Amino acid sequence: MYGDIDRILIDRDSIADRVEQLGTQLVGDLGGVADAGNLIVVPVMTGSLFFTADLVRQLPLAFRIQPITISSYPGRSTSSQGIVDQSPLPPGISGSTVLIVDDILDSGRTLGHLDTMLRQAGAADVRFCVLLRKDTARAVEVDCNYVGFDIPETFVVGYGLDYDGLYRNIPDIAVLRSSAIE
């Protein structure tokens, strides 16, 4: 598996430091909402699994976690294919502040789709926290409130991000060798 890695783009220590910083920022911004019992954290599965787990451990707040599954990179895709599968929205959205946690902002379609659906479901506020934001033209413009790292237009794996279901367990953000991508 590690032989498929071309280079490490963001190492695990940098990720840990940035997640801690994001946690501090989120506590400052959402503490009052959480105190009122109106905060729902919605991780976008499966890519945000590691990021969400580390991030919520930085939040000494009251909130509910209600994951949603959306797929836009099916199988061996290295670019977003648009929404190809989605689980139902979690219950209790109406009147709540929703923090969407996702692994990567690429085309913007996934987060744009969620923003529309959550607002239609009556969310009082929708905020976005992404680990990575690609430097690319977006099909849908999304204003991310919290961004871990800006990265160049390249396909990455690790820390939850995958290629064909593999490499999620690499603790760094890495670029695959071209020979590993079929």
Cα dihedral 130, 136, 139, 145 sign: positive
CA distances from 85 to 72, 177, 178 (A): 7, 28, 27
Is 150 a residue of the active site? no
| Candidates 102, 106, 115, 172; catalytic one | 106
State the alpha helices, DSSP H only, in the chain: 12-35, 49-56, 109-120
Q: CB of 126 within 8 A of CB of 100?
A: yes
Q: 174 - beta bridge partners?
A: 8, 157
Catalytic residues: 106
